[in-house]
Amino acid sequence: MHGKTLNSAPLISLTNGIEVRKIIGVYRFREKDKVKFLRIKKKYENRYPDMIITENPSMMIDEFRREVASRNLILDEEDLPNLKDIISITGTSLDIRDLAKSIKEYVEKTASLFNNA
């Protein structure tokens, strides 16, 4: 998918439950991506003062993405391409409950097509 080996492994924690993390080879957060992300992170932390994201490179993208999803935030249009590029390079975790919900919705919609035929 990204021209490198794609691996996945489950992460289990009390706070986040079971998540699946995609790992593409060996990755280090590139400095230019970190600078872009920290600018975006600061912008939204200023906009939402109770939103505090760690600066730990291995956790901050997941925390930011989780905060955006849980608060149902609309991100500024100019931030989307940078975030998309950073996430496609670094990867992110996927909550297995979100994955299960998406699969369930897909199966229900597909089944309704056959039921209406």
Domain borders along the chain are 1-27+92-117, 28-90
Give residue-wise pLDDT tens across range 53-85.
988 877 888 889 889 988 889 999 999 999 888
Instruction: Kindly report the three-state secondary structure assignment for every residue of the chain.
Output: CCCCCEEEEEEEECCCEEEEEEEECCCCCCHHHHHHHHHHHHHHHHHCCCCCCCCCCCCHHHHHHHHHHHHCCCCCHHHHHHHHHHHHHHCCEEEHHHHHHHHHHHHHHHHHHHHCC
Q: How confident is the model over 85-104, as a mean pLDDT?
A: 77
pLDDT, position 117 = 62
What is the reported pTM?
Answer: 0.59
Task: Give the model confidence (pLDDT) of 43-60 as tens digits.
Answer: 999 999 999 898 887 788
